[in-house]
Amino acid sequence: MFVPTAEFIPHCISGNVNEFLQLLNNQNSSHTSIELASNLIDTSLSLVKRQVSPYVMRGLVRAIKQNKRVDIDYVSLTNPNGEGRIIQPYMFVKTGLRWHLRAFDEKHQQFRDFVLSRFKGQPELMGDATHTAEQDNAWQTILNLSFVPDPRLNKEQKQVLEQDYQMKGGRLEVPVRAALAQYLIQEMHVNIKEPFDNPQEQQLILINKSEINKWLFSN
């Protein structure tokens, strides 16, 4: 058994415990083999998977690799019957509970996120794309989200959260692409409109909403 000395400096890992926790979570993966892990973790929460057609994925991957426009059907809650959309995709993005596709939407003439599981049918590749990631201002802009413990909590409760999130000066600063800010806020379980009645349910609040308001879906 090898034990690192005080002078040991890791080169292949950062030394952050989250790397080890992720390794435990992936212990059943064919890419992960660690004898120790089987005795340390029983199970982890598996989120419900959203169905994505392999035909859709193949077409979208080809479009991104070849920098092409795509004609494809898309359904939504406002248009459950679907409609043909011509998009210019460039990136797959996981936003917590689901996968999105970042693309330029020719119908609305703006970059948007499309829920990957809502594409239907066979993608039809068209001509070369005219819009790239470099032109997506929301993707290229980096914001800094500032979170603090809910002021309704008492001193001891705030200290618990400060320890949880390794806050500095009682504040958690999180850099994020503007296009992903709303998703991160949701994942942090922070209500930016009206705080939850129970501060222990809210836990954190966003204190610089006015600075990032223009990038949020709902103001």
Higher pLDDT, 125 or 193: 125
What is the average per-residue pLDDT within 43-66?
82
12 belongs to a structural domain:
no
pLDDT over 70 percentage in the chain: 80
Read off the pLDDT of each residue in 48-60 and give the average, rounded to a whole number: 85
Decide: pTM greater than 0.75.
yes
Domain-terminating residue out of 101, 131, 161: 131
Q: Terminus-to-terminus CA distance in the chain, angstroms?
A: 56
Domain count, the chain: 2
State residue 27's pLDDT score.
56
Buried (b) or exposed (e) across 112-129, using 16+ Cβ within 10 A? bbbbbbbbeeebeeeeeb
Q: In what order do the strands lie in the sheet with 119-128?
A: 110-115, 99-105, 83-94, 68-74, 119-128
**CA dihedral sign of residues 53, 58, 63, 64:** positive
Residues 102 and 162 in one domain: no
Identify whether residues 154 and 85 lie together within a single domain: no
- The whole-number pLDDT of residue 95 equals 85
Give the whole-angstrom CA distance, residue 204 versus residue 184: 13
pLDDT range class, residue 30, cuts 50, 70, 90: very low
* Pair 68, 114 in one domain: yes
Q: How confident is the model over 130-144, as a mean pLDDT?
A: 96
Question: The domain containing residue 68 runs over which residues?
Answer: 54-131
pLDDT per position as a tens digit, 104-136:
999 999 999 999 999 998 899 999 999 999 999
Does 210 reside within a domain?
yes
**Per-residue pLDDT tens for 61-99?**
999 999 999 999 999 888 888 889 999 999 999 887 789
Mean pLDDT, all residues of the chain = 85
Q: Domain boundary at 131, 151, 183, which?
A: 131
| Domain CATH number, residue 61 | 2.30.30
The angle subtended at Cα 61 by Cα 58 and Cα 142, nearest 5°, is 150
Last residue of one domain, picked from the residues 82, 102, 131: 131
